[in-house]
């Protein structure tokens, strides 16, 4: 394996953008090429590049027609940006509990919180593993709900023989610096729905009349006309910059290799905990699914050893510091104080009263026990070393 994450055409493509002097006549060449290749990788007709992987979610919800009074079901165990997108659409986030073994939003959790106001479900492919998308997508279709996959942490994983990202009405990917692929910042939304893609593009690009599902830039001949009507709808400036698109294209060309690094590291950690599941129980990958291991996640038996003591033991043994899981979104101060920049005015008193401890007991039990080991090792020897350190720590604790 190569030991460099940036080992393809990134520098050459960036140089071409810089050499162009950002002339508008050059259009958005790399954005278009990136979108085309990303679509090819996932076998979908439409990919739309964004400035980040939160704007993607917001744009999709706007294109769904989600707004004040609507509820969107989300998991609480994930980075809060998933919920931010719901709030940005002036809608109400409703939190569904997760599965104790896979850590993913569960169908039972979704059913428990569905109401007549539910308009969409947003799943998260947490840590590189998709949830039970076959069951959730059927439930969404049967109930006339939109399904949006937040796959920021999941590239090229499968569920029941299909790529994660091909079950929902749309799927979002992040290119933030910690993700499988990166352009420093960035995101991309994929869909097979032409009408939805048209709407998303207009949300992404200031409501311009001249953009479309497959066209990301208005033409110079149009905008030079004094009678040209530019904006046919409200929109945001969520477009990916051409420099980021150049890097994103090069990274997408290397997608399989970059994902394989993480998968190899994740499997090494998976092997290291075998026999020690009474101390550290890894995220379960169900039969018929694959994990792309954005991180190797496991639940610590804190009756055996505290989270802090386990981390200290691992680091003192030469391990790289690992991460905790995010605090559950509804237990963050912004929900405790309802400081939502005015969006709290769109949330009913009944829903406001739910944002407190006890709402999602499985997630609340898991969150303080989760450990997230890094898998972004670009040489296999380091990954093997870290996995062996983990095995050694668990062996000592078992004695």
Which pair of tokens denotes residue 224? Answer: 């030079």
Task: Give the SS3 label for residue 189.
Answer: strand
Q: Is there a single domain that holds both residue 32 and residue 122?
A: yes
Q: Per-residue pLDDT averaged across 323-337, rounded?
A: 97
Tell me what the mean pLDDT of segment 36-63 comes to.
98
The strand pairing partners of 171, in sequence order, are 149, 190
Contacts of 387 by beta carbon, 8 Å cutoff, 6+ apart: 265, 268, 269, 271, 272
Lowest-confidence segment of 3-7, 170-174, 195-199, 264-268 by average pLDDT: 3-7
Q: 235 and 291 share a domain? A: no
Residues 157 and 294 in one domain: no
26 plus 109 within the same structural domain: yes
Task: Write out pLDDT tens, residues 176-191.
Answer: 999 999 999 999 999 9
Together in a domain, 129 and 226: yes
Claim to verify: residue 238 and residue 279 sit in the same structural domain: no
Alpha-carbon span 270 to 121, nearest angstrom? 30
- What is the residue whose two structure tokens read 């670009």? 378
**Is residue 332, in this structure, part of any structural domain at all?**
no
Give yes or no for residue 252 having a pLDDT over 60. yes
- Of the chain, the percentage scoring pLDDT greater than 90 comes to 92
150 and 102 co-located in one domain: yes
- Long-range contact set of residues 274-278: C-beta below 8 Å, sequence gap at least 24: 276/391, 276/394, 276/395, 276/397, 276/398, 278/304, 278/398
Q: How far apart are CA 326 and CA 368, in angstroms?
A: 9
Q: How far are the Cα atoms of 18, 152, 168 from residue 124, in angstroms, in the given order?
A: 36, 8, 11
Q: Is the pLDDT of residue 2 over 50?
A: no
DSSP 225: S
Domain count within the chain: 2
| Domain end point (choices 212, 237, 254) | 254
Considering only CA atoms, which of 303, 20, 48, 356 is closest in space to residue 193? 48
> What pLDDT does 27 receive?
67
In 48-95, where does DSSP find H-type helix? Answer: 55-64, 81-88
**Same domain for 231 and 119:** yes
First-to-last alpha carbon distance for the chain, in angstroms, is 36
Confidence tier at 1 by pLDDT (50, 70, 90) = very low
- Dist. CA 48–CA 189, nearest whole Å: 5
Does residue 68 sit within a domain? yes
Question: What is the mean predicted confidence (pLDDT) over 235-258?
Answer: 97
Same domain membership, residue 150 and residue 20 = yes
Q: What is the mean pLDDT of residues 322-349?
A: 97
Distance CA 314, CA 388 (A): 11
**Is the residue at 24 inside a domain?**
yes
Half-sphere exposure of 246 (CA within 13 A, CB side): 17
pLDDT digits (tens, 9 = 90+) for 85-112: 999 999 999 999 999 999 999 999 999 9
Single pTM value for the model: 0.96
Mark whether 129 and 88 lie in a shared domain. Answer: yes
CB 238 within 8 A of CB 62: no
Of the residues 191, 219, 254, the one at which a domain ends: 254
Contact assessment for residue 74 and residue 338, using Cβ atoms and an 8 Å cutoff: no
Rounded Cα distance between 124 and 325, Å, is 14
Predicted local confidence at residue 28, as pLDDT: 87
> Would 351 be classed as within a structural domain?
no
Tokens matching residue 332: 């963050």
Q: What CATH number does residue 306 fall under?
A: 3.90.1150.10
Q: What residue numbers bound the domain in which 269 lies?
A: 257-325+363-398
CA 314 to CA 374: how far, in whole Å? 13
**Residue 25 located in a structural domain:** yes
What is the C-alpha to C-alpha distance for residues 131 and 113, in angstroms, rounded to an integer?
17
Q: Is residue 392 part of a domain?
A: yes
What average pLDDT does the chain have? 96
- We report the CATH number of the domain holding residue 137 as 3.40.640.10
Helix (H) or strand (E) holding 349: helix 349-354
Query: What does the alpha-carbon distance between residue 332 and residue 369 come to, in Å, rounded to a whole number?
Result: 17
Give the residue carrying structure tokens 């997760």.
98
Question: Do 172 and 152 form a contact (C-beta atoms < 8 A)?
Answer: yes
Among residues 201, 224, 254, the one where a domain terminates is 254
Tally Cβ neighbours within 10 Å of residue 303: 7
The answer to whether position 340 is within a domain reads no
Q: Are residue 299 and residue 373 in the same domain, yes or no? A: yes
Same domain, 133 and 276: no
pLDDT for 227 beyond 90: no
């Amino acid at each position: 394996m190569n030991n460099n994450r940036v080992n393809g055409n990134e520098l050459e493509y960036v140089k071409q953008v810089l050499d162009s002097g950002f002339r508008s006549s050059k259009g958005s060449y790399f954005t278009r090429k990136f979108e085309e290749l990303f679509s090819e990788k996932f076998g979908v007709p439409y990919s739309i590049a964004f400035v980040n992987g939160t704007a993607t979610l917001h744009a999709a919800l706007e294109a769904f027609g989600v707004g004040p009074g609507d509820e969107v079901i989300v998991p609480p165990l994930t980075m809060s940006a998933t919920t931010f997108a719901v709030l940005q659409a002036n809608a109400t986030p409703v939190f569904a509990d997760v599965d104790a073994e896979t850590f993913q939003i569960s169908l039972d959790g979704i059913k428990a919180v569905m109401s007549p106001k539910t308009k969409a479900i947003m799943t998260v492919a947490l840590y590189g593993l998709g949830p039970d998308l076959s069951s959730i997508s059927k439930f969404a279709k049967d109930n006339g709900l939109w399904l949006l996959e937040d796959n920021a942490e999941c590239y090229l994983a499968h569920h029941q023989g299909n790529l994660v990202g091909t079950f929902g009405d749309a799927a979002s990917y992040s290119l933030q610096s910690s993700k499988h692929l990166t352009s420093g910042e960035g995101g991309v939304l994929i869909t097979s729905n032409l009408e939805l893609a048209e709407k998303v593009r207009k949300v992404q690009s200031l409501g311009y009349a001249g953009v479309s599902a497959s066209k990301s830039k208005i033409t110079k001949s149009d905008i030079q006309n004094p009678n040209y009507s530019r904006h046919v709808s409200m929109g945001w400036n969520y477009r990916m910059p051409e420099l980021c698109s150049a890097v994103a294209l090069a990274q997408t060309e290397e997608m399989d290799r970059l994902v394989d690094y993480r998968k190899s590291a994740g499997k090494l950690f998976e092997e290291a905990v075998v026999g020690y599941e009474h101390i550290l129980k890894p995220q379960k990958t169900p039969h018929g699914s694959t994990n792309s291991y954005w991180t190797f996640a496991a639940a610590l038996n804190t009756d055996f050893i505290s989270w802090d003591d386990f981390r200290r033991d691992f680091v003192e043994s030469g391990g790289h510091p690992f991460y905790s899981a995010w605090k559950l979104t509804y237990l963050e101060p912004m929900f405790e104080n309802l400081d939502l920049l005015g969006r709290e005015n769109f949330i009913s008193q009944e829903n406001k009263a739910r944002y407190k401890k006890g709402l999602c007991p499985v997630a609340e039990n898991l969150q303080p026990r989760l450990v997230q080991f890094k898998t972004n090792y670009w040489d296999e020897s380091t990954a093997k070393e870290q996995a062996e350190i983990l095995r050694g720590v668990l062996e000592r604790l078992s004695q």
